Each structure stands twice: as structure tokens, then as C-alpha cells.
């Protein structure tokens, strides 16, 4: 059981680093949304989205990472739409 607890602790430590970074990303997305509204630009930028998704390809768990980033992109667009 110690191994399981040790591994979970490592995940908790990673989450403690990832979550603030995701929060910062979402804050930036909100600002980008405001700029897009001011410039009458579309929230969706398919080329940009594909560029981000392409960055997942070299990783061992590319499919899972792509799923995470698709969700992240959708949530970012929701935030951008709120301005």
C-alpha cells in the first residue's frame, strides 16, 4: 500500500504545480477573449487549435493528452465567450 500512497503523493505534487498553471492559462484566455471581442474576431481559431493539438503527438500518451487539450481548448473558448 505504501507504493500506492507514494505514487498518489507524486500525483498530488504534480497537481499542485499543474492547477495554478491552468488557472493562469484560463486568465490569459479571458484576456484574449476580451481582445477578440474588441477586434470583432471569432472565438474559434481552428489553425491555432490544431497547432496546439499537434504538440501532443510526440508524447507517449498522445491520445490522452490530445483529449485533455481538446477539453482545455473548449473550456478556454467558453471563458473567452464570457469576455
Going from N- to C-terminal start, the domains of the chain cover 2-82
User: What is the SS3 assignment for 43?
Assistant: coil
State phi, psi for 56 to the nearest 5 degrees.
-80, -20
Query: What integer best gives the mean pLDDT of the chain?
Result: 96
Instruction: Give 39's pLDDT tier (boundaries 50, 70, 90).
Output: very high
| Cell 489553425, residue located | 47
pLDDT of residue 83: 54
Residues in Cβ contact with 73 at an 8 Å cutoff, skipping those fewer than 6 apart:
49, 52, 53
pLDDT of residue 33: 95
pTM of the model: 0.89
Q: Which CATH architecture has domain 2-82?
A: Up-down Bundle (1.20)
Q: Distance from CA of residue 46 to its chain's centroid?
A: 15
Amino acid at each position: 500500500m505504501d507504493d500506492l500512497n507514494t505514487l498518489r503523493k507524486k500525483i498530488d505534487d504534480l497537481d499542485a504545480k499543474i492547477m495554478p498553471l491552468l488557472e493562469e492559462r484560463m486568465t490569459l484566455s479571458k484576456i484574449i477573449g476580451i481582445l477578440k471581442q474588441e477586434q470583432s474576431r471569432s472565438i474559434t481559431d481552428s489553425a491555432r487549435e490544431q497547432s496546439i493539438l499537434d504538440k501532443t503527438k510526440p508524447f507517449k500518451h498522445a491520445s490522452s493528452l490530445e483529449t485533455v487539450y481538446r477539453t482545455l481548448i473548449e473550456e478556454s473558448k467558453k471563458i473567452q465567450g464570457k469576455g
